[in-house]
Structure 1
């Protein structure tokens, strides 16, 4: 196995162009597991850990640009205000050691449907900055996941950064696991209120071949809030609205039975998580709380 270790971004792109089969590695929290259990044996690894710019983030007036190798620990410590759902998701990732090494960019590269960051990114409406020697492009998060552990990157592309709008309303993330910590999600759900546009967005993990949104649930809740004037005059949500939102969120799932849970349980659990996150986000909105994790 060849080990490629560029020291700057231009060198990384050149190495990926010359060796499209090279597997990127930074924190190694996904790749090293696959190597250890002999699930993957690539001819080349492309080590990105020596490229400083990938570990930087920039907080603008409207968006956050998150370098691909920024660890979850930094999201927790520094970005819980502008990115509350992502910070909540980061808190559930593995152990402190994993959070110190693992990154959102690595989660995206692996594209596992159970990745903890995916629901939060979908709910926030993120964009993935992909780059190659041919240039740079942004991929909307909705178009990024193309199949089980597959993404929209071209063979010569690397993830450079993730662009995420700063939260303008409350956000929540919740997941169900077989224990309370250091666990792969049985299912996960994120919800973000976007009062500046009068819309809501969702994200579901580990309940379909790819991370997905619940568009019918989003459209229903958006219509219910607008129709009752609740964005302008926040009041408790009617029970029928809360129940219907949860039902529609559950219908967006296409789960399977596996060692962590049955498909039937996942559908039920997503409905429960959808209702809980709705209750928490709307309660925060009615109280005028800032969108922090």
Structure 2
């Protein structure tokens, strides 16, 4: 205990108020009455600080009993995922409709973390290293936010405002994320010191839309916020003649993704390494999705 206090541990003497509502409206009322309350779903970020006694919330709002937040629905062209749906269910139930998000979900922590952790919690934390963020950016997801005065929808492009900061206001709750169904192959690639239970050095997501002939991108762990690589998305690709995708075009795509990143040097990797890794990941993702999209012609490219 002495060592923990010396390291900045928080006193555990006072009791914590714990509230577990079954309706979103009740949760919002509790937050209005107790603005210091911390919402918790999976708790995979929050409870680390609590267990190490670095933080001690005065009140906690458990969202796991709110049915609306723990279900997903098929909206036709998109899937609406409640903010409390865990990664494990996304992997098991939505891999066909949302392959990029499912691929990212598979890389999150351990099986225990995937059973508890949620996309809603990932968004609320707003970490630049959040694994769910790149595929949400690549597919153009929308975030649904509830407040006492009503609900609003925020495009994923507008959600992040800085490192671990977002447009989420005090007293608000993320209720759902709506993700367009895949209109083509998708990829998620993550670079880390090992394959599992690691914060990414960098991550990249790509989504091909074969109907619109567009490419969506998402970059993680290489900027103050998750990012898109807009110049790469605007690169002209040979949609009418898929076999014409050249190595030069693929490499140019990777270079444009790397240039769009805003990395720093830290304990996990240098900025230069992150840019290099992103270029490799982006080129690899484009090749893989392109071949998957035009499989009948892939033999011509080997």
Classify the TM-score, shorter chain: over 0.9
1:173 is aligned to 2:188: yes
Alignment of 1:1-293 (within 5 A): 1-220=16-235, 224-225=236-237, 230-287=238-295
Distance 1:107 1:236 in 2: 39
Query: TM-score normalised to the size of structure 2?
Result: 0.90
8 A Cα contact 1:21 1:155, kept in partner = no
User: 1:36: how far off?
Assistant: 2.3
8 A Cα contact 1:217 1:248, kept in partner = yes
For residues 232-279 of structure 1, what are the alpha-carbon distances to aligned partners after superposition, in whole Å with 9 as ceiling and x for unaligned?
A: 442251111111111110011111111111111111111111111111
Aligned length: 282
1:14 is paired with a residue of what secondary structure?
Answer: helix
Distance 2:231 2:49 in 1: 36
Query: TM-score normalised to the size of structure 1?
Result: 0.93
Distance 2:106 2:23 in 1: 30
1:235 is paired with a residue of what secondary structure?
Answer: helix
Unaligned ranges ≥5, structure 1: none
Distance 1:142 1:179 in 2: 29
CA RMSD of aligned residues (A): 1.4
- Could you say which residue in structure 1 is the equivalent of 2:5? none
Distance 1:288 1:207 in 2: 35
User: 1:52: how far off?
Assistant: 1.8
> Which protein has the larger Cα radius of gyration, Structure 1 or Structure 2?
2
Distance 1:91 1:288 in 2: 28
For residues 42-64 of structure 1, what are the alpha-carbon distances to aligned partners after superposition, in whole Å with 9 as ceiling and x for unaligned?
A: 32221111112211000132010
User: 1:144: how far off?
Assistant: 0.5
Unaligned ranges ≥5, structure 2: 1-15, 298-302
User: 1:288: how far off?
Assistant: 6.4
Q: Larger deviation: 104-113 or 194-203?
A: 194-203
